[in-house]
Structure 1
């Protein structure tokens, strides 16, 4: 039998290790990204990719916080955030989010655009598109006027390339999109904005870094907010997201 003093010394030596191990065992913060190209998608290696996945990586590096980035369908992401099974997500400003999440800052301000074929003489506004088919990415919030409008025929799609194909085939009359998603989609399809008629529906629609009102570790909000501010101050946010379009009225 070891003397009591040796047992106490051994206990004091082991205790800090046990505390450190428990702290290191904390699960990472849950960052969720909408499965909407180019915001988020799963690459050929089965890993999260896209603009918001790159943002998540930089936020993790600057805040020194581990983030578990998951790519989910847009509506499921909002559902997970509502049920407090997500800590952070970047989403366009939406009044319904205010009841279960709060903004840590604006990530991007995007113009929301209405797009049609050059041969289509319809006025590119909600009134002019009354009774017409307008495609939109399922689950995305394009502002209250689009959400509340009951006169246009809203056609949900998963990604914008599907909407562009439907527009060119004449299956829809117009589509609605943020400028960034439209830019990247047309670029990937080898097309330009000059092949379409485009009008601004809602300028400067903000996308926020949202935090659940019941996050895993509330004390980490400041670190994430500071990381976002560092990205803004350095110009990295602008470099990542600023892909403006020349809009033809």
Structure 2
């Protein structure tokens, strides 16, 4: 009888644990340090902000790092629940719900140092030049929708900037913090060959994107937004930013 009661107790615990496991959100992002990177402490600044806010909202989470195109496809298909690092564009609202903004990214063009290319906000002056871009990224509405720009899709920023240093393209672009992080890890030949153009293309707000196939996606977004506001109010947001040198 005692063994039967013990077995029933253990079975009850397992049944109680199942809903909790089902509630664990599957977070995804590509390698985009210092914002998202599985090799960094707590996955980088954006990953830590997102997991902390979701935990405050009552959601446990697991994080997986995959290439950007696979991350978007996974959100579309419902294999992942939350894309950690999404810039807004209308097309993505077809597959997920955006949160409010929780970070900002300043997107700047990069050229070879000896290049005479300038940028004053008018994209038409860049029409003659091949520009390496990361496949699947959204940079700004105007840039993304301008079909006269010579865009050369590549897998990641490291490939893009190496093509630029080798003079295979004339420009690339990236968030300034991300670009400086990667450039600091490039060879001197690459790092010393390129420089930022002074004027930013855009300042983009960073959001989470919650898959429309995730049950309760609206509740997740609302809880996340409320938690971010609370973190800003109690100072924990600023403390985390300072820890990453932001």
Q: Under TM normalisation by the shorter chain, which class is it? A: 0.7 to 0.9
Question: What is the CA distance between 1:213 and its match in structure 2?
Answer: 2.3
1:220 positional shift: 4.2
Residue 73 in structure 1 maps to residue 67 in structure 2: yes
Cα distance in 2 for partners of 1:139, 1:48 equals: 25
Q: 2: CA distance between counterparts of 1:123 and 1:156?
A: 22
Partner of 1:247: none
Greater Rg by CA: 1
Q: 1: distance between equivalents of 2:56 and 2:192?
A: 36
The offset of 1:197, in angstroms, is 4.2
SS at match of 1:68: strand
The answer to whether the 8 Å contact 1:40/1:48 transfers is no
- Equivalent residue for 1:83? 77
SS in 2 for 1:199: strand
Contact 2:110 2:194 in 1 (8 A): no
> Does 2:123 correspond to 1:123?
no
**Unaligned 5+ runs, structure 2:** none
| CA RMSD, 1 decimal | 3.5
Q: C-alpha displacement at 1:142, in angstroms?
A: 0.6
2:107, 2:202 within 8 Å by CA — same for their partners in 1?
A: yes
SS in 2 for 1:188: coil
Give the one of 57, 64, 67 matched to 1:63.
57
Equivalent-residue separation in structure 1 for 2:109 and 2:184 (angstroms): 18
TM-score normalised by structure 1 residue count: 0.76
| Cα distance change, pair 25–115 in 1 and its aligned pair in 2 (3 A) | closer
- Per-residue CA deviations over 1:120-164 (Å, capped at 9, x if unaligned) read 112325222212111112211011222222223212233323322
Q: 1:35-184 residue pairs with structure 2 within 5 A?
A: 35-43=31-39, 49-89=43-83, 90-124=85-119, 125-184=122-181
Report the Cα offset of residue 67 of structure 1: 0.6
Q: Is the 8 A contact 1:37 1:159 kept in 2?
A: no
Structure 2 contact 140–202 (Cα < 8 Å) conserved: no
Q: Which moved more, 1:217-226 or 1:123-132?
A: 217-226
C-alpha contact (below 8 Å) 2:105/2:175 kept by paired residues: yes
Between the aligned partners of 2:31 and 2:137, the Cα distance in structure 1 is: 11
When the two structures are aligned, how many residues end up with a matched partner? 235
Query: What is the CA–CA distance in structure 2 between the aligned matches of 1:174 and 1:109, rounded to whole Å?
Result: 22
1:34 to 2:37 alignment: no
Tell me the secondary structure at the aligned position of residue 200 of structure 1: strand
